[in-house]
Amino acid sequence: MGIMRRVVVFDASDIAAESRFWAGMLDGRVVTDDAFHSVIDADDRWVMGVQFAPGHVAPEWPHGTPQQVHLDLHVDDAGAAHAKAIGLGARLLQDAADPDASEGHRVYADPAGHPFCIGWGQPDDDAVRAFVRSLPAP
């Protein structure tokens, strides 16, 4: 199992404001979708995501509402990644609609209950860079 990319994903009810903030912090840009924004850094790497969560409540960490963030692992072998995660103690929280599809993701919890996703069928870094560079300048 090869991990192609690690993407930290923030939940937000205003994904435009959240993604603009992080793109600004990273001197990058945002690639948008209705329910998910990809934050691309100054080197045209996909490093962060912002996921639409309409009921999002801002965390008051460390004393109050808990943090709401998860990690996406984009892999080249979904079956091997699934077996490794389960073997290390992860729990499958939500299976893919079609685990044999060419693109998809599964949602897991680590042993302490923190959520993370394993996704497959995503473009590699070179393909992401080529796509980002083909977009009109912001």
Domain of residue 72, CATH code: 3.10.180.10
With bands split at pLDDT 50, 70 and 90, how would you rate the model's confidence at 18? very high
> Is a pLDDT exceeding 80 seen at residue 111?
no
For 17, counting Cβ atoms within 10 Å of its Cβ (0-12 exposed, 13-18 middle, 19+ buried), the class is exposed
**Best CA proximity match to 66, nearest among 108, 116, 113:** 113
Instruction: Report pLDDT digits (tens) over 68-88.
Output: 788 899 999 999 999 999 998
How many domains does the chain divide into? 1
DSSP state at residue 56: -
Q: How far apart are CA 114 and CA 118, in angstroms?
A: 13
Task: Give the pLDDT of residue 15.
Answer: 92
Predicted model pTM? 0.73
Residues 6 or more apart whose Cβ sits within 8 Å of residue 111: 88, 89, 90
Q: Which domain covers residue 30, as residue numbers?
A: 3-134
Name beta bridge partners: 91. Answer: 109
> Is a pLDDT exceeding 90 seen at residue 9?
yes
